[in-house]
Structures are given as structure tokens and as C-alpha cells.
Structure 1
Amino acid sequence: MKKRIGVTCSEELQNDKYIHFIKQDYLQAIIAAQGIPVLLPPVPIEDIDMQLDMIDGLMIIGGCDVNPLLYHENPLPLLGETDYPRDLYEIALIKKATQKNIPIFGVCRGLQVINVAFGGTLYQDLSYAPQKILLHSQKERRECASHTINIQENSFLYPIFQDRGYVNSFHHQAIDHLGKGLKAVAYSEDQMIEAIEHISLPITAVQFHPEDMCKTDQKMQEIFNQFVAKC
């Protein structure tokens, strides 16, 4: 039986109505990994268990900024657009999936919201970090790498890339303080966290967008293959 992978949706206001959507690249990467994607639009918190009963794994995708009130900060001037209802839904989804021991994989915003769900904080904009920062919102095509990452041994990425990888980058926020039980397993040259995993739960996440690079870089597809295989 192929594994059913629940995938969260992005939201966008069009003609005074919110639409829910997902980039095809996420779905194609799951299908190529022999999984069956199942789209998960936001539902009332009390109905999340029914969604989770339908899936074997959970993917939290990219999107807008996480509302800083959820990590006990007030908004700073360079904060981007946020979506509080989506934040609340995804955090509840992550917590309930964790209780059911459902494997979770996060991409970009997905990494950030996982960190917040476990009590961590974010830099609301990379310019607020104390060190000198590289360009993390690349001017290159999405399917092309723009910077390197250094990967720790014994991490989920190490069997794929060894100690160094080439990744794309489309974010202006990043992890500041790690959430409880999470550990950083990859860093960019400016010491921004590029990948995390939980010390005991089947939770992994990356700050880059492997789904955009899968067609041209088999290593990026292998990230999805690895995730679906453990679901």
C-alpha cells in the first residue's frame, strides 16, 4: 500500500474570498516518492483528528510569516504578511500529529511553524539577527541552488548530501531560539539554521525548498523519498 501524505495548503485572498491552494511541485515530489498526496485545508480544531486518521505522514509547506504573538513577541517593522487562523490550525495539527506519532516533514515556513509549535522563536526578519547575513531571498531561478549548507553527521540529511549541500533560498525569517526537543542539523555559512529534527519524534524540516529542485537534482527528491519511506 502506498503511504498517504497529508499536505497543508496555502491561503490567498482573491475577490474578498480566501482560496486554498498548493504548488504542484510538492505533489509531484510526493508522487515520485511513491506516496499519495492528500490536501488538508484548515478545519475546526475538533475535526483535526478525523483528518489525521486519513493519513500516514504530514507535510507542512511554505507560505507567509508566522504571527509573532504565537511566540510571545510584538510585531516588528519588517514582519511580512501573517495568517493567524492558519497558524493556529497548523500548530494544532502538528501537536495532534505528534501525539499520534505521525511522521512530520516541514518546508520553509513549515520548519518555522514546527519550531513555534514546540515553543521556539523566530527572527521576524533576518536583518534582526546579530551577525552579518547572506542573501536568503535569492535572485536565481527557483530550481537552482544559491548557497551552501553544512550538515551534521548522524542527521537525516547526511546520508543524502554528506557534510555539505547546495540549496535554494526564499525566506526572510529564520529560527532564533529552538523549540523544546528540537535540534539543528544543518547551517548556512552565516550560521542560520537550515534543517532541524526532533531528538525522539519522527519530525524533520528544512528551511530551503527541495520540491523546486527535484526535477534537476536527485538528492532533493531523495529527501521526499526518505520521508515517505518512514511514514
Structure 2
Amino acid sequence: MAGRPLIGISTYIEAGARWGVWELEAALLPVGYPRLVQRAGGLAAMLPPDAPEHAAAAVARLDGLVIAGGPDVEPSRYGAEPDPRTGPPARARDAWELALIDAALAAHVPLLGICRGMQLLNVALGGTLVQHLDGHAEVIGVFGRHPVKPVPGTRYAAAVPELTSVPAYHHQAVDRLGAGLVVSAHAEDGTVEAVELPSEDWVLGVQWHPEMGEDVRVLRALVEAAATRPGS
């Protein structure tokens, strides 16, 4: 591939975004995501929610895909009733990002899920989620940090081989693994912190938020996979 690979990042719609004299509906993405893609050697492209049937066409133009963090996945997506502590559904975003994931898997496009993105990857492959982790209450709007231990021999461990402190903000987690996924990192309490597909396709999900830290290794691994995949 000549030049930097193009990495798409899913975004979301907010009704009351404000800038200057304006308060309008906007497609938003925290700037940490595109900055991290850029620091890792890629070109960042924002993907606002669209009709799910357009996902394959969008993914066909990309070299890699990031599914960003955000609200809780609607429990009906994995056959569960909502827990009272589960947030309100984001149905249009769920539908769009699930379609993006399906399209990336079908087209063998390198895929990274971040926080909600990892959970949605698990759901897309038939897995389930823990809707609330007792003892994981976090200060609203403040990222915490905790150590993550890689599982030797995994794709994640190849990128980040040592115990690492990571920025995190979540109250849900992977429960039953989706088809084909393996765990590639844990928190000290056993919470699943990374999952991946052990195949030639580069597919990884991390529960934390690398865009809120300085470590670019996970994103660099995605960008390198995007730059070297067949047909790129």
C-alpha cells in the first residue's frame, strides 16, 4: 500500500451539540479517536450512523475499522431483559455498527472494537453481556485506570506483552463469548478485558479506552494489519 491506510471510526448523533452560536444535531466523535489513529500511522475517517444496508459499501472503501465506545448495547440484541441499571437504547447506532462489524468480518477488513465496540463485537458473534458489574462504579465523566494482563500467545499479547495500566470507563462486560472469540486479556478481578478471533483476519476488541492514553501499540497493530492485508 502506498501512503497511510484509511481507518474508519464509527460516530454517533447528538441532538443538542453546541459550538459558537449554534446548537444543532451533530455527528460526534471524541477527538482522541482520530488523533490516536493518526499517531499510529493511519488516516482517520468518521463514519456517522447510516442505513445498515450501506455498511458493506462503506467498509469496502476502508483499510481498517474502529468501532468506538459509547452507550450500552440494547439487551434485546443478546436475548436479555434490560437491567434497571442499563442505559437507554441507541437502536440506530446498534443497527449501524452491527452492520459495520458484519461487513468488516465478511470482507476480512481489520477490525478493532473499543469498550462498547468490543461488547458489540461479542454480541454480533452471538455472545452475551454482564449488564452491570458490582464494584465497578466510576466517577461520572472521569476515566479511571487499572492493570490489564495479556494472555500469552494471543494477538493482543504480541502487541502489548506486559501487564499494563489502562484508562477505563465502563459498567458492563463480556459474559458468554461469541462464536470463535477467545479471551486475550483480563483484569485482576477476572473481568474480560480483550477478545479476538484466532484466525488470519485481524479482529480484536479491548474493554478500555486507548484513545484516552498515550500507548498507541494496539492502534499501531491495527494500522499495520490494514497496511499489509491482501488486496491493500
TM-score bin (small chain) = 0.7 to 0.9
Runs of 4+ off more than 6 Å: none
Unaligned 5+ segments in structure 1 are: 128-132, 215-219
Against the structure 1 CA distance between its residues 159 and 47, is the aligned structure 2 distance closer, same or farther, given a 3 Å change threshold?
closer
Distance 1:99 1:159 in 2: 24
RMSD: 2.0
Give the partner amino acid of 1:7.
I
The unaligned stretches of length 5 or more in structure 2 are 18-22, 227-232
Cα distance in 2 for partners of 1:17, 1:126 equals 35
Alpha-carbon distance in 1 for matches of 2:164, 2:155: 13
Query: In the alignment, is the contact (CA less than 8 A) between 1:152 and 1:163 conserved in 2?
Result: no
In the alignment, what sits opposite 2:20?
A: none
- TM normalised by structure 2 equals 0.87
Per-residue CA deviation, residues 149-199 of structure 1 (Å, 9 max, x unaligned), is 221111223234324111122001100111001111111111110011112
Q: 2:188 corresponds to which letter in structure 1?
A: E
Deviation at 1:59, TM superposition (A): 0.3
Aligned length: 218
Distance 1:18 1:72, change over 3 A: farther
- Which residue in 2 is equivalent to 1:209? 209
1:76 aligns with 2:71: no
Cα–Cα, structure 1 residues 140 and 73, in superposed 2: closer, same or farther, change >3 Å? closer
SS at match of 1:126: coil
Query: What displacement does 1:139 show?
Result: 7.9
- Letter of the aligned partner of 1:9 in structure 2? T
Instruction: Quote how far apart the aligned CAs of 1:45 are.
Output: 2.1
SS at match of 1:230: helix
Q: For the residues of structure 2 that align with 1:41 and 1:77, how far apart are their CA atoms?
A: 29
Change (3 A) 1:148 1:70: same
2:173 is matched with which residue? 174
Partner AA of 1:88 in structure 2: A
Greater mean alpha carbon deviation, residues 65-74 or residues 31-40: 31-40
Offset from partner CA, 1:81-107 (integer Å, 9 cap, x none): 320111011111111111100010011
Question: Cα deviation per residue 1:101-150 (whole Å; 9 max; x = unaligned)?
Answer: 001001111100000000000011113xxxxx4x46368964xx621122
SS in 2 for 1:168: strand
Task: Tell me if 1:148 matches 2:147.
Answer: yes
Instruction: State TM-score, norm by structure 1.
Output: 0.88
CA distance in 1 between partners of 2:82 and 2:24 (Å): 25
Give, in whole Å, the separation in 2 of the partners of 1:40 and 1:229.
21
SS at match of 1:186: strand
Aligned match of 1:56: 63
Question: Matched residue of 2:70: which SS?
Answer: coil
Aligned to 1:4: 6
Q: Do residues 111 (structure 1) and 111 (structure 2) align?
A: no
**Alignment map for 1:1-231 (pairs within 5 Å):** 1-14=3-16, 18-127=25-134, 133=135, 135=136, 137=138, 142=143, 146-200=145-199, 201-214=201-214, 220-231=215-226
Q: C-alpha separation between the residues in 1 aligned to 2:55 and 2:141?
A: 38
Offset of 1:228 from its aligned partner?
A: 0.4
Task: Report the Cα distance in structure 1 between the residues aligned to 2:158 and 2:81, rounded to whole angstroms.
Answer: 40
